[in-house]
Structure 1
């Protein structure tokens, strides 16, 4: 028994006329009638009572009509579900991100992705100690948004955006009124930064800039996320060098100032295993690049 036979049977069962049913499905009547006879032979039952004046359903035909409608509806549902999954419109997408990328561009990517693909279950993983490269290769993540530079064998890295570094200091700091502050003048200041394991590339970029300015930063406190780092700055525990997008946190007691002599860039990247991307991951990646282009 084939789905096509069921479609033909439903047509004749609803029309109760072989000519109209054949026309409805775009077939000539003789092969249409042959398919119905073949279906009856395969089932070993009579589905239709035929006379010169009328066609009617037998009890077996009435039962098959109900079952056939359900099967055909389920078939359409399965086809639609599979096709939508192939287009990346359903399913689950697992995205990792470093704490240092949790502000600025990432929320905008997530909001746009959810608006376009509301039926994709989006799982965000912000575990501080997660090795994103290993997690991607192990299939624990589909892709990740991380701070660059980022290197891991077998992982593709695509830069999304670059932004300048700024100095974040307490609003009551003696130098808070200065518009531009030389990096080299901060050697004696206590710094607040995230642990290197959270974003090694970004951490190294910041410390390398300081060393280039003639000093090694005196890290007074560490915090695992930028909101925590900025919160400590607001509390007067020290100052920090942060990507420009950190201003989006809008802390009342913190001011952001341009840095003179800070030659590095804060970069954000999307990373994924090899060249393999699921359809949903490909959509997320495309949206990430859209957002990255607009800054």
Structure 2
């Protein structure tokens, strides 16, 4: 029951306003009662109680007709406005509670924009257009700080990260590629061993704070028998690729970066390297935000559908290859 209370002490219910509006619009208690689905005597009592409360005659009625008084006409206009505002307030509260309205602040590493993030954001916006998304490109450690300080609600980052009070879940796993200038001597070879890059200048991220992407790449190079020569350090993937294109070095990047090709950079697969990189979603364990839960629910649902489709395509290709392999020469 919602009450409206005036400083003079009187109170009324929104229900009474709806009753009055119905009678004022129908100009007939019987018709208004049917519209409201209540008994006519009960409706009459509510209108009388409202008039007593206000000490104002809102309706003139006799056995033949019902008329809205001048005071009632003013009250009718204000009542419609109040009811409309109440419905808006209720709807807004329900949308926030359901996670279909509000705001969400996201942090992400640059390479995530080449991965699943664009399709995730598109899916969320199509399903929940009332939520305002704020996106900020951040390094892994800046995201962890922003999550702890509640400056962002969700982060997309790489490396096996651990931080107290945070949940980390895998969004995607992918292979690593070597990024080379298109004019590089190794650019003509489709698959390279990491050891073939010994002596090449590398473009890497900063190595502090740790754990870092640079530390991860240096570890892979050491497993291949060499320590990389670091020519430049950058914090943005676009800068890394620009430096590679300029011939200032090579780099190792997530495979998703090749989704947006550049004519001056080529990407080559690595042989003998089993390491893969993960894109992780990170959020506060105690965060009960309906908007965050709505985003996560839609994201996991979309990713499950995408993986099922990818598995189906692989199965179909394998089946087709099996049919081709089993076909006799005479049938070909």
TM-score of Structure 1 vs Structure 2, range by shorter chain: over 0.9
Listed one character per residue, the Cα deviations across residues 69-92 of structure 1 (whole Å, up to 9, x for unaligned) are 111111111111111222222221
| In structure 2, distance between residues paired with 1:41 and 1:54 | 21
| In structure 1, distance between residues paired with 2:132 and 2:118 | 16
From 35, 41, 50, the equivalent of 2:46 is 35
Uncovered stretches (5+) of structure 1, i.e. residues with no partner: none
- TM superposition score normalised by structure 1: 0.93
Root-mean-square deviation (CA, aligned residues, Å) is 2.0
| In structure 2, distance between residues paired with 1:97 and 1:147 | 9
| In structure 1, distance between residues paired with 2:209 and 2:249 | 20
Report the count of equivalent residues.
295
Listed one character per residue, the Cα deviations across residues 23-80 of structure 1 (whole Å, up to 9, x for unaligned) are 2211111111111111011101111112121121222111111111111111111111
- TM superposition score normalised by structure 2: 0.83
144-153 or 178-187: bigger deviation: 178-187
1:276 equivalent in alignment to 2:287: yes
1:52 equivalent in alignment to 2:63: yes
Aligned to 2:89: 78
SS, match of residue 6 in structure 1: helix
1:275, distance to aligned residue in structure 2 (A): 4.1
* Residue correspondence of structure 1 range 182-261 to structure 2 within 5 A: 182-197=193-208, 200-261=211-272
Higher relative contact order (CA 8 A, sep 6+): 1
| In structure 1, distance between residues paired with 2:117 and 2:213 | 16
1:291, distance to aligned residue in structure 2 (A): 5.4
SS, match of residue 89 in structure 1: coil
| In structure 2, distance between residues paired with 1:158 and 1:129 | 15
Aligned to 2:118: 107
SS, match of residue 175 in structure 1: helix
1:202, distance to aligned residue in structure 2 (A): 3.1
From 154, 165, 168, the equivalent of 2:176 is 165
Listed one character per residue, the Cα deviations across residues 106-159 of structure 1 (whole Å, up to 9, x for unaligned) are 222222222222222111111448622231122211111111211111100001
| In structure 2, distance between residues paired with 1:289 and 1:140 | 23
Aligned to 2:311: none
Uncovered stretches (5+) of structure 2, i.e. residues with no partner: 1-11, 308-332
Aligned to 2:8: none
1:238, distance to aligned residue in structure 2 (A): 1.0
| In structure 2, distance between residues paired with 1:45 and 1:143 | 55
Query: CA 1:291–1:240 in structure 2 vs 1: closer, same or farther (change >3 Å)?
Result: farther
| In structure 2, distance between residues paired with 1:160 and 1:21 | 56
SS, match of residue 45 in structure 1: coil
SS, match of residue 57 in structure 2: coil
Aligned to 1:92: 103
Aligned to 1:155: 166
1:97, distance to aligned residue in structure 2 (A): 1.0
